[in-house]
């Protein structure tokens, strides 16, 4: 099974290795078991159900509320030669019938449906399908504790109960501890295993700018964009009016920009989103209505013009930058007016107390004086041991002191109060306050009552927030925001670990932070060639009417521009290049590279030479693959290329004469065209791509 999944990963998607947890999730799914996948935006969730879908002899149902994401993912799958389609409100009755027929006839491996459509057809034609897996994307939408609750998701449990033996996979990028159990219950997952991927997106720099006046803020944003000419970005605003004002201001300064909000009609929103996805518009100024379902991989920056209302939303929004793994930037502007406005919204909405607590946590993050990445990851239950070095606080560290004893006082108070109360009650106990709540709960009898009376309420609140940000305590929203001590917190309380806190600064004492907005570092790619490759990609995207990043993302283009592949084997060795894309686009991109090759000097040793050097040390292909962290298929491609170039390679020992004869018959049937995929399919997928490549090399060499 391992060989099959790795072969699919390389041949279909062009990657040599799975990301962390992906392989475990895929194997569990193939075994027919339920899974709950919690991965950050851009963390590789889709691969977890797409690979099993190609292994199963049947159809995989993917439930998603995001029509634009369905279109994106289906286009990307089709470009990789996978049979996929979607069924939602955006298609005509005739198109619906075509999709239904393909699904019933077994001509689809993946079918994407909106939850509304799934519920409406679950007792009709859907019953005729051989369903082998159901993936619920954006699973947080089922939970009242989530930040994006959608009532139609709660009906999915009925569908789950109708096919109890089919594995279900819930996937989301945002679910705190309160929401996770709720999601499992609401979707009816049975004995599911929770997979939590690291939420650390190291390629994203984080900066927060507080209390910046509107005029100054616009000037800073214009300067920021000017230094990043022709790069894609998203600017999030609190109101529709803001989006139009900011967009018009940027447009007056010569930028390629459009605004997006829920007040526009459907056609306008659709066109704006399409123009952004296709790189016809570089910058979108939008309310948070924009971005759900955007799979655009080359967004280089995300700016928040206002304070977001919770950390889940903020994290998901900044996660739309740098999905290709290249350095990208995030900047958050905030002021107290944003906070007050959101508080008023919360008063008028559902779950008022919880929404206000999450808003408070967002403000605490914005005003924090410790590593911001640590705070974000701590919120999602992940703890960094070292500061990130890629946020504004790390670049401008505040003064700190040994806060172990002070933290122990607060932790002792929480423990003696049985972890049942929130921040305000804790501080009142520590300061020895004389109020009715303390008397009714008999807290004045606690040993911690009054042990911190010399510290002001403002300072204590700052220290407790720092403790939460450092992962010593958690705020449990589902339990009236009670403070709970984490394992790290218990270590501090027992004297097994020391902790450092920063000196509080009152709002009046705060100095304006210097503008430390950074420029993303460039890779080693030849910039002229990279630009030329982007140009040919844009031309192809227009011809094929698909987003440019679906053809190849920026990271793959940069690898092309640094490795300079000009043969089929070299091109296949580039991460992100699968067989289908190599056959479709390889020659066009390699022609561009060939023209530049004389001017663009390779900046590193050719990948085939590195393989040859290890081969000469008598390492086996498997050992070379492990040492170079490449797939065995890639190593055999290198060896075939080296053999063709006349290098001393004993290629014959890696393939049998019987296999060569099989390949020769089909190769001749195709008039000796070097197209591996048709030969692979003609041989009923019984001969690997490596064996086909080696056989063709030997056939051509010996003719």
Look at residue 354 and tell me whether its pLDDT is greater than 70: yes
Based on the domain organization, do 223 and 334 belong to the same domain?
A: yes
- Over residues 532-588, the pLDDT tens digits come to 999 999 999 988 888 888 999 999 999 999 889 999 889 998 999 998 899 899 999
* The pLDDT of residue 508: 42
- The yes-or-no verdict on residue 514 having pLDDT over 50 is no
Q: Contact, 526 vs 596, CB < 8 A?
A: yes
* pLDDT > 90 fraction of the chain, expressed in percent and rounded: 48
Q: What is the pLDDT of residue 145?
A: 61
- Cβ(538)–Cβ(571) below 8 Å: no
Say which residue the tokens 């990657």 belong to: 15
Q: What count of Cα atoms within 13 Å lies in the side-chain half-sphere of residue 338?
A: 26
- What does the alpha-carbon distance between residue 343 and residue 326 come to, in Å, rounded to a whole number? 36
Taking the alpha carbons at both ends of the chain, their separation in whole angstroms is 37
Label residue 291 by pLDDT band (50, 70, 90): low
In a domain, 477, yes or no: yes
Place of tokens 């013009």: 305
Supply the mean pLDDT for the chain.
87
pLDDT exceeding 70 applies to what percent of the chain? 93
Residue 257: its pLDDT value, please? 96
Indicate if the pLDDT at residue 160 is higher than 60. yes
Give the pLDDT confidence score for residue 636 in this predicted structure: 86
For residues 677 and 613, state if they share a domain: yes
Q: Which residues of 292-326 are buried (b: 16+ CB within 10 A; e: fewer)?
A: bbbbbbbbbbbbbbbbbbbbbbbbbbbbbbbbbeb
Cβ neighbours of 419 (radius 10 Å): 15
Q: What is the four-CA torsion angle of 370, 373, 378, 381, rounded to 10 degrees?
A: -170
DSSP sequence for 10-61: IIII--SSPPTTHHHHHHHHHTT--EEEE--TTS-HHHHHHHHHHHSSSEEE
The enclosing domain of 641 has a CATH number of 1.10.150.80
Question: CB within 8 A of 611, min separation 6: which ones?
Answer: 624, 628, 635, 638, 639, 642
- For residue 608, what pLDDT is reported? 87
13 versus 598: the higher-pLDDT residue is 13
> For 335-344, 413-422, 612-621, 652-661, which range has the lowest pLDDT when averaged over its residues?
335-344
Dihedral of the CA atoms 131, 133, 137, 141 (nearest 10)? Answer: 80
Q: What is the pLDDT of residue 456?
A: 93
Helix (H, G, I), strand (E, B) or coil at 550: helix
Q: Residue 510 falls within a domain, yes or no?
A: no
The reply to whether 516 falls in a domain is no
For 200, other C-beta atoms within 10 Å of its C-beta total 17
Are 492 and 564 part of one and the same domain? no
Tell me, yes or no, whether 455 and 356 share the same domain.
no
- pLDDT band of 598, cuts 50, 70, 90: low
Coil, helix or strand at residue 285: strand
Using the 3D structure, point to which of 368, 395, 422 is the last residue of a domain: 395
686: left (phi over 0), alpha (psi -120 to 50) or beta: alpha
Whether residue 681 sits in one domain with residue 582 = yes
Same domain, 157 and 13: yes
CATH of the domain at 50: 3.40.50.300
0.75 surpassed by pTM: no
The answer to whether residue 521 is domain-embedded is no
Question: What tokens were used for 475?
Answer: 């705020």
Cβ atoms of 286 and 243 within 8 Å: the answer is yes
Query: Tell me, what's the pLDDT at 296?
Result: 86
Mean pLDDT for the stretch of residues 455-472 = 89
Question: Of the candidates 351, 379, 395, which is a domain's last residue?
Answer: 395
CA distance linking residue 431 with residue 475, whole number of Å: 21
* pLDDT tens digits along 677-689: 788 888 887 888 8
Cα separation of 270 and 414, whole Å? 51
Per-residue confidence (pLDDT) for residue 521, from 0 to 100: 37
Average pLDDT over residues 405-409: 97
Q: Is residue 379 within 8 Å of residue 361, measured between CB atoms?
A: yes
Q: Are 82 and 579 in contact (CB under 8 A)?
A: no
Q: Are residues 60 and 188 in the same domain?
A: yes
Q: Is residue 157 part of a domain?
A: yes
Give the pLDDT of residue 512.
Answer: 39
Both 596 and 670 in a single domain? yes
Give the domain CATH number at 423.
1.10.10.10
Pairing status of strand 400-402 against strand 500-502: antiparallel
The answer to whether residue 1 scores a pLDDT higher than 50 is yes
Q: Do 494 and 541 share a domain, yes or no?
A: no
pLDDT higher than 90, residue 106:
yes
**pLDDT number for residue 525:** 62
Q: Is residue 518 part of a domain?
A: no
Q: How far apart are CA 364 and CA 183, in angstroms?
A: 27
Same domain flag for 533 and 640: yes
Residue 288 tokens read as 């948070």
**Rounded CA separation 373/387 (Å):** 8
pLDDT value, residue 2: 64
Q: Give the list of residues 6+ apart from residue 628 with CB closer than 8 angstroms, or none.
A: 610, 611, 614, 635
- On whether both 470 and 567 belong to a single domain, the answer is no
pLDDT value of position 690? 85
CA dist 97 and 120 (Å) reads 15
Tell whether 335 is covered by a domain.
yes
Of 344, 377, 395, the last residue of a domain is 395
Structure-model confidence comparison of residues 605 and 602, the more confident one: 605
pLDDT computed for residue 405 by the predictor: 97
Tally of structural domains, the chain? 4
Give the pLDDT mean for 387-397.
89
Helix (H, G, I), strand (E, B) or coil at 249: helix
Q: Over 70: is that where the pLDDT of 143 sits?
A: yes
Residue 517 in any domain: the answer is: no
Task: Give the structural domain span for 449.
Answer: 400-502
Question: How far is the C-alpha of 374 from the C-alpha of 602, rounded, in Å?
Answer: 38
Same domain? For 433 and 453 the reply is yes
Look at residue 146 and tell me whether its pLDDT is greater than 60.
no
Quickly list H helices, 253-319: 266-277, 311-318
* Measured torsion, CA atoms of residues 527, 532, 533, 536, in degrees rounded to the nearest 10: 160
């Amino acid at each position: 099974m391992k060989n099959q999944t790795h072969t699919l990963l390389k041949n279909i998607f062009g990657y040599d290795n799975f990301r962390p947890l992906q392989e475990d999730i895929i194997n569990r799914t193939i075994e027919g078991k339920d899974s709950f996948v919690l991965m950050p935006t851009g963390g590789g969730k889709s691969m977890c159900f797409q690979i099993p879908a190609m292994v199963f002899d049947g159809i995989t149902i993917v439930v998603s509320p995001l029509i634009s994401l369905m279109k994106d993912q289906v286009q990307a799958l089709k470009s990789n030669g996978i049979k996929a389609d979607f069924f939602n409100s955006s298609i005509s009755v005739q198109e619906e019938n075509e999709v239904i027929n393909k699904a019933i006839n077994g001509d689809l491996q993946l079918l994407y449906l909106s939850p509304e459509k799934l519920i409406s057809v679950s007792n009709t034609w859907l019953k005729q399908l051989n369903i082998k897996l159901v993936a619920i994307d954006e699973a947080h939408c089922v939970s009242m504790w989530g930040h994006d609750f959608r009532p139609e998701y709660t009906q999915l449990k009925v569908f789950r109960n109708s096919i109890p033996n089919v594995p279900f996979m819930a996937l989301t990028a945002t679910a705190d501890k309160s929401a996770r159990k709720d999601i499992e219950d609401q979707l009816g997952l049975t004995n599911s295993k929770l997979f939590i991927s690291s939420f650390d997106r190291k390629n994203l720099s984080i900066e927060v700018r507080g209390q910046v006046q509107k005029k100054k803020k616009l000037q800073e944003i214009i300067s920021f964009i000017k230094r990043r000419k022709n790069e894609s970005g998203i600017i999030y605003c609190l109101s529709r009016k803001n989006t139009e004002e900011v967009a018009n201001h940027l447009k007056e300064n010569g930028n390629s920009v459009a605004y997006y909000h829920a007040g526009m009609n459907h056609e306008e929103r659709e066109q704006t989103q399409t123009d952004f996805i296709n790189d016809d518009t570089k910058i979108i100024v939008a309310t948070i209505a924009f971005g759900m379902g955007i799979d655009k991989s080359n967004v280089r920056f995300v700016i928040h013009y206002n304070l977001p209302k919770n950390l889940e939303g903020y994290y998901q929004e900044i996660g739309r930058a740098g999905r290709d793994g290249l350095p990208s930037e995030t900047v958050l502007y905030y002021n107290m007016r944003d906070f007050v406005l959101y508080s008023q919204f919360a008063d008028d909405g559902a779950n008022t107390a919880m929404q206000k607590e999450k808003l408070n946590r967002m403000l605490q993050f914005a005003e924090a004086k410790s590593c911001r990445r640590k705070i974000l990851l701590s919120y999602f239950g992940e703890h960094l041991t070292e500061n990130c070095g890629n946020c504004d606080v790390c670049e401008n560290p505040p003064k700190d002191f040994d806060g172990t004893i002070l933290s122990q006082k607060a932790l002792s108070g929480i423990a003696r109060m049985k972890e049942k109360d929130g921040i305000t009650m804790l501080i009142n106990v520590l300061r020895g306050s004389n109020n009715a709540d303390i008397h009714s709960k008999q807290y004045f009898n606690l040993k911690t009552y009054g042990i911190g009376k010399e510290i002001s309420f403002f300072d204590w609140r700052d220290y407790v927030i720092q403790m939460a940000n450092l992962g010593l305590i958690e705020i449990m929203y589902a339990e009236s925001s009670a403070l709970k001590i984490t394992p790290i917190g218990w270590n501090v309380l027992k004297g097994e670990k020391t902790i450092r806190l920063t000196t509080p600064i009152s709002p009046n004492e705060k100095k304006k932070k210097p503008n430390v907005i950074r420029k993303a570092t460039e890779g080693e790619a030849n910039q002229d060639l990279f630009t030329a490759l982007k140009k040919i990609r844009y031309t192809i995207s227009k011809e094929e009417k698909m987003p440019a990043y679906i053809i190849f993302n920026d990271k793959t283009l940069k690898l092309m521009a640094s490795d300079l592949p000009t043969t089929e084997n070299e091109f296949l060795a580039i991460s992100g290049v699968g067989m289908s894309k190599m056959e479709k686009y390889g020659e066009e991109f390699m022609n561009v590279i060939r023209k530049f090759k004389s001017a663009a000097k390779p900046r590193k040793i050719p990948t085939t030479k590195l393989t040859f050097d290890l081969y000469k040390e008598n390492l086996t292909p498997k050992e070379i693959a492990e040492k170079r962290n490449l797939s065995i298929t890639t190593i055999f491609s290198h060896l075939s290329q080296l053999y063709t170039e006349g290098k001393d390679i004993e290629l014959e020992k890696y393939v049998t004469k019987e296999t060569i004869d099989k390949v020769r018959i089909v190769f001749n049937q195709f008039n000796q065209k070097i197209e591996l995929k048709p030969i692979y399919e003609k041989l009923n997928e019984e001969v690997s791509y490596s064996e086909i490549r080696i056989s063709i090399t030997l056939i051509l060499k010996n003719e």
